[in-house]
Amino acid sequence: MTDTTTATTTATPLRKVLGERTAKALATHLDLHTAGDLIYHFPRRYDERGEHTDLRALEVGEQVTLLAQVKSTTVRPMRQRRGTMLEITVGDGSGATLTCTFFNQAWRERELRTGRWGLFAGKVTDFRGKRQLNGPAYQLLRADATQDEAAEEIEEFAGALIPVYPAAAAVPTWTIAKCVRTVLDTFQPPDDPLPGTVRANRNLVGIGTALREIHRPSSKEDLYRAKHRLKWDEAFAVQLTLVQRKARAAAAPGRPRPRREDGILAAFDAALPYELTEGQARVGEEIAADLARPHPMHRLLQGEVGSGKTLVAVRAMLQVVDAGGQAALLAPTEVLATQHHRSIGAQLGALGRAGELDGDPEGTQLTLVTGSLGAAARRAALAKVADGSAGIVVGTHALLYEGVDFHDLGLVVVDEQHRFGVEQRDALRAKAAQPPHVLVMTATPIPRTVAMTVYGDLETSVLSQLPRGRSPIASHVVPPERPAFLDRAWKRVREEVKAGHQAYVVCPRIGDAAGAEDDGEPPSDNESTRRPPLAVLDVAPILDEGPLRGLRIGILHGRLPADEKDAVMRSFAAGDLDVLVATTVIEVGVDVPNSTVMIIMDADRFGVSQLHQLRGRVGRGSAPGICLLVTEAMEGTPARDRLDAVASTTDGFKLAELDLEQRREGDVLGASQSGKHSHLRLLSLLRDAKLITDARAEAAELVRDDPALERHPALAASVAALVDEERAEYLEKG
């Protein structure tokens, strides 16, 4: 067993404290290797005896640990095979129940007696409409036993608050709790990294107290103080990093690209057939001022679907071209890059065709660079990029490849920035002789605390006002309990087509014999307990032969060759197709004003922001739009509540808050962007807005006095641990 005379530090290998076998299990299943890894593996929640777990909130496919009471037990022979099945019904006291099943383990009935409380861990499945756990791991709480009689595994739960840890099937929460207790017996906390002035100003407990109380809280008050302190560590580390990056960026040299009064931008503005919205004019001035400074611009432009971000970007690009530079617009898909190239070309008109017969000699050239260009077209495009005749270059990841050389890259515009990794954005920036100005755009509204935490080194501009002429979009959920509603949806499509309009039908998956996945996010863990998501290649022929027979139906998805995708989009934009059955490849950038109706199949398989983006493809003209969210999610389930919320508002910022509520923080802050798991375990961008704001203020003050944290080495080390190098690079690059 462990030598308790030796202090355990955060760097101590777990095998030295827990033994080889236990340490190997923690390393293999939970990626925990040192005492610090385990101590910072915080409980996900805390159960209380006498307080009930809400069984009604469980979702199929969810890995859960429940505090529940055995209500009844039944042993019966199985119908399909030999043997018996033990069925245990457990409840939380609210009236809701859950079934636990054990095959050929009737002996468990002796210990799982009616009235016993215990912790039950497993994956929620569905059997004939009833939720259940198959063969769950469990730990019974012996409230009737004295402490001496209680088994060692039960001792951990003798307190009022029972920690429930993120666990694995092979390492349940009670095993983790026992390991934590063993480590804490000899744990020597690290030196407190937070400056004493900050701790005093913000009334924060010491790091040692916080780390003990987060695992074995004496009371709810002590638990709150522990969590509050550890959240501060996380928020402060991120904000310090961002403030340092922002200070360095503000001081970095860059080439100014001031506005010209008689250039292409002035001619473009004079030819616009409409006035800029107030928001477009204001944001345009912010960007113009940034571009004129001798330091690289780092600005985030966020705006509602259809708020006119592309026009703002075009005006910024023209300002750079007027100043002798080039601008590159990086788009995540060929469909979007092609759409941008076509729409920007239409906006520029003769100003974008300099050197051509009908071009304006005072203008510039616009060129497209994608991976599917033929050899001759690629050579011609790259020559224009290299000699500078192409002032505006639109492209996909192909812009990042070797051989794409710019004459004088002055501005990088990244559209739908969340689709790109750090390395991709940096590769494009590296093609400039001097650090270029950078404008990143997103049509996914970002709550203030997310912007402050994820993009805190960027200046932020917001476009919330829609251009005049945009029509309202009505959204409705088409539920499974009303099958006639789906029939009515297809009739509505036919009515819109008869009126001269067009429609989208969106499916989560492409589909083929191999069951290939969709263009968007992979299926979640609970897909195994549900039917596969509907697929474009399956739905399109059903519609063609059934409810939409006689209409001109096209298909669009990410695996089509680029020329086919472009041909389909051209046909749809020209009105030669009535209905486009597509994946999320149409989520951004697709602009066909004549489209008025969208039906999203299996809408519960999409995220909130995705649904908001998708429905932004309709209502872009003078006719009102309608979006129908088809789902099998029943009333009262979280999935259905989410869809009802989307249908109830077109306010993207309200939906962004909802999206944040329903996502894990790591999805926002972690591997999805930086490629590594997030080290932010407790901080909630939704609930901890004030704490993040306070941490930002303290960080700004500290960096002002000590830019490199030279006088605070323990804090610098803590920042390095919480915000690893790759994460810091991500924060810097935006």
What angle do helix axes 713-722 and 220-251 make, rounded to 10 degrees?
100
Residues linked to residue 353 through DSSP beta bridges, in sequence order: 365
* Positions of the chain with pLDDT lower than 50, given as ranges: 1-4, 50, 52, 145-159, 513-529, 664-678, 725-734
Domain count, the chain: 4
Indicate whether 455 belongs to any domain.
Answer: no
pLDDT of residue 671: 34
Q: What are φ and ψ of residue 128, in 5° steps?
A: 55, 45
Q: Same domain for 629 and 487?
A: yes
Q: Are residues 63 and 12 in the same domain?
A: no
Answer yes or no: is 242 within a domain.
no
- Give the per-residue pLDDT at 79: 74
Sign of the C-alpha dihedral, residues 693, 694, 695, 699?
A: positive
Run of H or E residues at 285: helix 278-291
Residue 222: inside a domain: no
- Provide the CATH number for the domain around residue 143: 2.40.50.140
The first and second tokens of residue 542, run together, are: 């059903």
pLDDT score for 260: 93
SS3 at position 702: helix
Q: Are residues 12 and 66 in the same domain?
A: no
Is the domain of 544 the same as that of 583?
yes
**What residue has token string 């974008």?**
352
**What is the tens place of the pLDDT at every residue in 108-148?**
888 898 888 888 878 888 887 788 888 888 888 765 543 33
Work out whether the CA dihedral 639, 641, 647, 652 comes out positive or negative: negative
Read off the DSSP letter of residue 682.
Answer: S
Angle at 680 between CA 676 and CA 685, to 5 degrees: 120
Q: What is the pLDDT of residue 424?
A: 67
Amino acid 149: pLDDT: 38
**CATH at 340:** 3.40.50.300
Specify whether 36 is located in the same domain as 70.
no
One-letter amino acid identity for 211? Answer: L
The four Cα atoms 661, 666, 672, 673 give a dihedral, to 10 degrees, of: 100
Cα-Cα-Cα-Cα dihedral sign, residues 706, 708, 711, 716:
positive
Q: How far apart are CA 68 and CA 64, in angstroms?
A: 12
Do 508 and 482 belong to one domain? yes
User: For residue 714, what pLDDT is reported?
Assistant: 87
518 and 542 inside one domain: yes
Query: Could you give phi then psi for residue 126, rounded to 5 degrees?
Result: -120, 130
Indicate the helix (H) or strand (E) that contains 139. Answer: strand 137-141
Of the candidates 442, 463, 488, which is a domain's last residue? 442
Distance separating alpha carbons of residues 641 and 635, to the nearest angstrom: 7
Within this chain, do residues 613 and 496 fall inside the same structural domain, yes or no?
yes
| Residue at which a domain ends, from 386, 419, 442 | 442
Q: Is residue 247 part of a domain?
A: no
> Within this chain, do residues 37 and 140 fall inside the same structural domain, yes or no?
no
Is residue 203 domain-resident? no
Burial of 371 (0-12, 13-18, 19+ CB in 10 A): middle
Residue 174: inside a domain, yes or no?
Answer: yes
Structural domain span for residue 634: 473-649
Provide the pLDDT for residue 725.
45
* 400, part of any domain: yes
Examine the domain organization and report whether 35 and 67 are in the same domain.
no
Residue 356 resides in a domain: yes
DSSP assignment letter at 95: S
Q: Which of 649, 664, 688 marks a domain boundary?
A: 649
- Does one domain contain both 428 and 520? no
CA 18 to chain CA centroid, Å, is 36
- Extract the tokens encoding 192: 């407190």
Confidence at residue 415, expressed as pLDDT on a 0 to 100 scale: 86
* Same domain, yes or no: 53 and 150: yes
* Alpha-carbon span 666 to 663, nearest angstrom: 8
- At 581 the three-state DSSP class reads strand
